[in-house]
């Protein structure tokens, strides 16, 4: 999971630009958002997390 602040810290740009980009990704169905508290929204890429879970399961069998 990541927040707008994490995106700004890692990629740069403004809070507004990062927020707009995240909203666009959410509208495209690439990420989903969840409200953590009154002021903080977190985002996640479910497909990526699912792939990591599948990889971990595969690794545990080998």
Q: What is the pLDDT of residues 41-60, one digit of tens each?
A: 999 998 888 888 899 999 99
Q: Per the structure, how many domains does the chain have? A: 1
Question: What is the percent of the chain where pLDDT is above 70?
Answer: 100
Q: Do strands 2-3 and 32-35 pair parallel, antiparallel, or not at all (unpaired)?
A: unpaired
CATH number for 13:
1.10.10
The residue range of the domain holding 28 is: 2-61
**What's the pTM?**
0.76
Across 13-20, average pLDDT: 96
More confident position, 24 or 49? 24
In 1-62, DSSP assigns E strands to 2-3, 32-35, 41-44
Residue 10 has pLDDT above 90, yes or no: yes
Residue pair 47/53 in contact by the 8 Å Cβ criterion:
no
């Amino acid at each position: 999971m990541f927040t707008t602040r994490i995106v700004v810290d890692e990629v740069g740009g403004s809070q507004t630009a990062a927020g707009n980009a995240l909203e666009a990704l959410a509208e495209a169905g690439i990420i989903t958002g969840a409200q953590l508290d009154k002021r903080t929204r977190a985002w996640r890429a479910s497909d990526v997390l699912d792939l990591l879970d599948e990889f971990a399961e595969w690794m545990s069998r080998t």
